Amino acid sequence: MSLLENIREPEDLAALSSAQLTELAEEIRRFLVTEVSKTGGHLGPNLGVVELTLAIHRVFDSPRDAIVFDTGHQSYVHKLLTGRQDFSRLRQQGGLAGYPQRSESPHDIVESSHASSSLSWADGISRAFTMTGQGDRHVVAVVGDGALTGGMTWEALNNISDDNSRNLVIVVNDNGRSYAPTIGGMARFLNGVRTRHTYRRLHVSSRRLFDRFGAVGRAVYRGIRGGTHGFLSRFTNNESLYSNLDIKYIGPVHGHDLEALEEALTQARDYGAPVIVHAITQKGRGYEPALADVADQFHAVGQIDAETGEPVETASRPSWTSVFADEILTLASRDERIVGITAAMLRPTGLHKFAERFPDRVFDVGIAEQHAVTSAAGLAYGGLHPVVALYATFVNRAFDQVLMDVGLHRAGVTFVLDRAGVTGPDGPSHHGMWDLAILQVVPHIRIAAPRDAATLREELAEAVTVQDAPTVVRFSKGDVGVEYPALRRTDDGVDVLREAAHRDVLIVTVGPMAAVGLQVAERLAQQGIGATVIDPRWVVPVPGSVIEFSRSHRIVVTIEDGVRVGGIGTRVRQDLRAAGVDTAVTELGLPDEFLPHASRSQIFEQVGLTGQQIARDVVAQVLGSRIPVARPLPEDEHERIRTDAD
């Protein structure tokens, strides 16, 4: 058996020699490349924390000592060392989650994969341990240098430094990157530490002593290394951003030197007060294709060839993100008022082309969504039109700023929300399912949901012309799919996708759910039920023609890929009642639950958002009501319709 196969719990690491630990680290890297290349996942971050994770589990006693991973996309090694080595269905239905998950293991503490929260978690857990008489338990927060660009980390540090009586270790995993290279003053400071000549020269020299002179060299090496760390700790503290926080600082430590890491972590563990251990690591360590990837060093990959790193499959259609990337560049070329803002996700959100062409007009603010939104309000006040590009799940983090800084001031800011609705393999914290319910409460906001590439281009162009209110353009993850041309467009911009001779059911679709709506209409038509399918395009505010269509139909069915509670269907129903229209409304969307990781189609199947399931339910509603349909149905046909709808 391999060394890795013999590791079932962290305590199994204690019996391994230094040589065996080095061998285990290489086994883990080979395992990660082989397995993640088959399923896709966060490869680069995990290759960079192999030794660091080994050292943490050698020094601390998980789960008695709580280990909290900020973001958690670097937790694959942690999973391997805590008995989870079946990666065959990683991020797939029924398989391991791509982030820590409490239902998988007691070693997983925090599930949220939103960045910059780990220090607040660690602060709370360590306070609880102290207050409940468990002062011998430790808390370890593993936070990347990218997460230090988020304001919440500094709020936590401010409070952690106010109480030095707790066993709390903050491990800064410093690889100079979040998703992409880390930006800002913090990045410049840490880069200075990494490249400081004194640190590099002393570390290289002392390491050579160990390599050349064996046991004697080891003693000299350890002495010099300790002196180096002590010297740099004092030297760095005099200049660092931590200097006024009264928190012990150890480092910088070579993040791939197991002995150095264990020594530093042991010192931190035994200190008896909050300690920062600064470990310098390399994202993508040991895998040449990742190291050669300048853009993101294989931060997240799909299925790839393990040898070359090349994608196994190429999408046959452009992605929603790529369509946006091209269109925002086109619009920005025509209108110099347009500027772009993102939060450490320049390439993932599609702003990279805009940045390459107009570098002075695109701002990456780091993992700081709140700052991004309020800064955008300021840019709008100054006469520009900011386009804030975020994943839909991350706009949740900045709701107060959207409401009070943008909405209240009626700032002309466009929010482009990628990965809206069901995203699939990244699980509960990454589904972008709350944006419609959350954002539609902002007064004067306008929300667009394109159904295909053509309407994305069109609605984005419309959004950036609005100067007196916030606008939102939201779209899904993955391929953009086929286009659904409209039969006609109403005067207020509603697209009619299908009309029947008899107006029995009105199907109002939101964005890409147009495809499902058309499938439902086809199934209803086969049962003699006439269905009209419309796409409002701009779903908030509800266009007047949606009210009029509803007035002339017997049943209204709304279909959205956002949470049903407080969603677009709810808004349509409220507007109908306000207009005195008493047409029955069926609101279909996602349940108010945290949905697991699975493919988009699997989740739609689970929650009943497929053409077949919706058609069956609508037929049952029609048959169970006293509402007549266009063609009266004999009693003996009722059972056949129920069967055929299935």
Q: Is residue 386 part of a domain?
A: yes
CATH of the domain at 334: 3.40.50.970
Per-residue confidence (pLDDT) for residue 464, from 0 to 100: 98
Residues 95, 159 within the same domain: yes
Residue 10: pLDDT band by 50, 70, 90 thresholds?
A: very high
Per-residue confidence (pLDDT) for residue 620, from 0 to 100: 85
Give the residue among 294, 310, 297, 387 at the shortest CA–CA distance from 349: 387
Measured distance between the N- and C-terminal CA atoms of the chain, rounded to whole angstroms: 51
Residues 460, 579 within the same domain: no
> Annotated binding residue at 268?
no
CA distance 359 to 329: 12
Please state the rounded mean pLDDT for residues 313-320.
77
Residues 189, 96 within the same domain: yes
Average pLDDT, the chain: 86
pLDDT at 630 exceeding the cut of 90: no
> Annotated binding residue at 335?
no
> Annotated binding residue at 73?
yes
Q: Is residue 270 part of a domain?
A: yes
Per-residue confidence (pLDDT) for residue 467, from 0 to 100: 97
Per-residue confidence (pLDDT) for residue 317, from 0 to 100: 81
Residues 500, 449 within the same domain: no
> Annotated binding residue at 175?
yes
Residue positions annotated with a catalytic role: 283, 369, 397
Give the tens place of pLDDT for each residue, 323-349: 999 999 999 999 999 999 999 889 999
Structure tokens at 569: 């269907």
Torsion of CA 179, 278, 68, 394, to 10 degrees: -30
Structure tokens at 301: 């990959």
Q: Is residue 312 part of a domain?
A: no
Residues 402, 528 within the same domain: no
Q: Which residues contact 26 (CB under 8 A, 6 or more apart)?
A: 286
CA distance 62 to 164: 22
Residues 24, 148 within the same domain: yes
Q: Is residue 308 part of a domain?
A: no
Please state the rounded mean pLDDT for residues 27-53.
92
Per-residue confidence (pLDDT) for residue 322, from 0 to 100: 96
Per-residue confidence (pLDDT) for residue 196, from 0 to 100: 57
> Annotated binding residue at 332?
no
pLDDT at 53 exceeding the cut of 90: yes
Torsion of CA 110, 145, 139, 130, to 10 degrees: -100
CA distance 369 to 344: 9
Residue 428: pLDDT band by 50, 70, 90 thresholds?
A: confident
> In this prediction, what percent of the chain has a pLDDT beyond 70?
85
Per-residue confidence (pLDDT) for residue 190, from 0 to 100: 59
CATH of the domain at 581: 3.40.50.920
Residue 210: pLDDT band by 50, 70, 90 thresholds?
A: very low
Per-residue confidence (pLDDT) for residue 642, from 0 to 100: 47
Residues 568, 628 within the same domain: yes
Residue 235: pLDDT band by 50, 70, 90 thresholds?
A: very low
The phi, psi pair for 448, rounded to 5°, reads -110, 145
Residue 314: pLDDT band by 50, 70, 90 thresholds?
A: low
Residues 104, 188 within the same domain: yes
Residue 200: pLDDT band by 50, 70, 90 thresholds?
A: low
Residue 592's domain comprises 495-645
Q: Is residue 309 part of a domain?
A: no
Last residue of a domain, one of 474, 505, 532: 474
Distances (CA, A) of 629 to 506, 527, 550, 553, 623: 12, 10, 15, 10, 9
Environment class of residue 234 by beta-carbon count within 10 Å: exposed (0-12), middle (13-18) or buried (19+)? exposed
CA distance 589 to 583: 19
Per-residue confidence (pLDDT) for residue 475, from 0 to 100: 97
pLDDT at 84 exceeding the cut of 60: yes
Helices (H), 316-450: 320-334, 352-357, 369-381, 392-395, 399-400, 435-439
pLDDT at 641 exceeding the cut of 60: no
CA distance 301 to 290: 10
Per-residue confidence (pLDDT) for residue 114, from 0 to 100: 82
pLDDT-wise least confident of 73-82, 398-407, 426-435: 426-435
Buried b (16+ CB within 10 A) or exposed e, 330-359: ebbeeeebbbbbbbbbbbbbbbbbbbeebe
Q: Which residues contact 388 (CB under 8 A, 6 or more apart)?
A: 341, 342, 372, 373, 376, 413, 414, 415, 416
For residues 99 and 79, the answer to whether their CB atoms sit within 8 Å is no
Residues 103, 249 within the same domain: yes
For residues 288 and 304, the answer to whether their CB atoms sit within 8 Å is no
Give the tens place of pLDDT for each residue, 567-617: 999 999 999 999 999 999 999 999 999 998 899 999 999 999 999 999 999
Residue count (the chain): 646
CA distance 560 to 509: 6
For residues 152 and 256, the answer to whether their CB atoms sit within 8 Å is no
Strand partners, 426: none
> Annotated binding residue at 114?
yes
> Annotated binding residue at 115?
yes
> In this prediction, what percent of the chain has a pLDDT beyond 90?
65
Give the tens place of pLDDT for each residue, 370-426: 999 999 999 999 999 999 999 999 999 999 999 999 999 999 999 999 999 998 888
CA distance 310 to 293: 11
The phi, psi pair for 380, rounded to 5°, reads -65, -40
> Annotated binding residue at 9?
no
Rg (the chain; Cα; Å): 28
Domain count along the chain? 3
Residues 368, 455 within the same domain: yes
Structure tokens at 417: 């929300």
Give the number of other CB atoms < 10 A from CB of residue 127.
17
Per-residue confidence (pLDDT) for residue 192, from 0 to 100: 60
Residues 11, 44 within the same domain: yes
pLDDT at 557 exceeding the cut of 90: yes
Say what the pTM is: 0.84
Q: Is residue 337 part of a domain?
A: yes
Last residue of a domain, one of 474, 508, 531: 474
Angle at alpha carbon of residue 10, lines to 5 and 12, rounded to 5°? 60
Per-residue confidence (pLDDT) for residue 184, from 0 to 100: 58
> Annotated binding residue at 78?
no
Q: Is residue 277 part of a domain?
A: yes
Residues 92, 183 within the same domain: yes
The phi, psi pair for 284, rounded to 5°, reads 80, 15
> Annotated binding residue at 145?
yes
CA distance 447 to 437: 11
Please state the rounded mean pLDDT for residues 288-305.
78
Would you call the peptide bond into 181 cis, given omega within 30 degrees of 0 as the criterion?
no
Q: Is residue 597 part of a domain?
A: yes
Distances (CA, A) of 150 to 52, 145, 153, 235, 555: 23, 10, 6, 25, 47
